[in-house]
Amino acid sequence: MGYGRYSHDAHVALTTGRGGAAADELFQQRGCHELMDPYGVQMRESRDSEDHPESLGIVFALDVSGSMGEIPEKLATRTLPDFMQAMLDAGIEHPQVLFMGIGNAAGDAAPLQIGQFESTEKLMDQWLTWLFLEGGGGGGNESYELAMYFAARHTEMDCLRKRHRRGYLFITGDEPPNPVVSRSQVQRLIGDELNNDIPIGDIIEETQRSFELFYLIPDPERGQQVGRDWRDLLGERVIVLESPDDTSYAAAGLVSLLEEAVPSLEALVARLRTAGVTDQQAARVGKALTGFAAALGRDGTPPPALSPTDPPDEDGTSGYER
């Protein structure tokens, strides 16, 4: 999938035209859409085409529980066009976006929903608004690990196959990770037969062979509750946002930093301001991405200066001093 051309103007018109529509008007599914049912799906494909000769697969795996449903709503009414424009501004000319919905496999009717990789604003919006915002069924944490499993084993991307360039997987959530991918849940929901459960660390490692994986937490309060658990697994790829409104800009900023479309976090924040983001929101995004930018050496902090000294005669100092 992923054919057709993207129009930012048409995308903005589509989202802003919805005005103050309520979430249940935008997301009218009352169960998993039959085309988003993952059972029996072999592959979701992000492919190059004449329109998109260098496609880049991007997955938004959205927690659609009651506490997290605001993010899909914001994407559908305002922020997805912002994300796409930020990609284009950063020189990412051919993004192909796939939406997943994540619920609780222990209690929800539709704990995993899978769209297609798309390039046009109409088809992106179609899959996004086909998500069933179930609201949560209790009985455990949301099943983020199932989204990783599907991404790792049921996607094919030309960016990876042809150019050895990983795609991007952004998971939004506010609950701790489950310890394993359950073989019984995989069989029931996807149809794959596994010999054993898969430890969460193993499925993360497998997913990261194909995707740059990030876990986005919508605000500092929830970051305090679950951030440490996820950082033990993902390190600085856990991004605690200042506000759910910043989700699209933070995701776009992460792509820009990794694709070297901007030389530093400071340059990223400046680009957001130039694009019309308020100073306050640009600063919030910069704060949320500081840890990851520092891990890349792009937070704007100069490296420590090293000056040569006389080499040691025997054992001793390294020959350099700060």
CB 6 within 8 A of CB 119: yes
What's the CA gap between 286 and 139, in Å, rounded?
36
pTM: 0.92
Give residue-wise pLDDT tens across range 257-308: 999 999 999 999 999 999 889 999 999 999 999 999 999 999 877 666 665 6
How does the average pLDDT of the chain come out, rounded?
92
Where are the alpha helices (H) located in the chain, listed in sequence order?
A: 8-16, 23-26, 70-74, 80-89, 121-129, 144-153, 158-163, 183-189, 200-207, 220-234, 247-258, 265-274, 279-288, 290-296
> Running DSSP on this structure, what letter comes out for residue 76?
I
Give residue-wise pLDDT tens across range 51-71: 999 999 999 999 999 889 899
The residue among 139, 27, 37 whose CA lies nearest residue 74 is: 27
The residue among 40, 44, 238 whose CA lies nearest residue 157 is: 44
What's the CA gap between 238 and 187, in Å, rounded?
29
Give residue-wise pLDDT tens across range 172-199: 999 999 999 999 999 999 999 999 999 9
pLDDT of 322 reads: 43
What's the CA gap between 256 and 90, in Å, rounded?
6
CATH 3.40.309.10 for domain 32-263, yes or no, is no
Q: Give the helix/strand (H/E) hosting 115.
A: none
The residue among 262, 167, 272, 92 whose CA lies nearest residue 84 is: 92
Strand 198-199 to strand 95-102: parallel, antiparallel, or no bridges (unpaired)?
unpaired
Residue 216: is it exposed, middle or buried by C-beta count within 10 angstroms (0-12/13-18/19+)?
buried
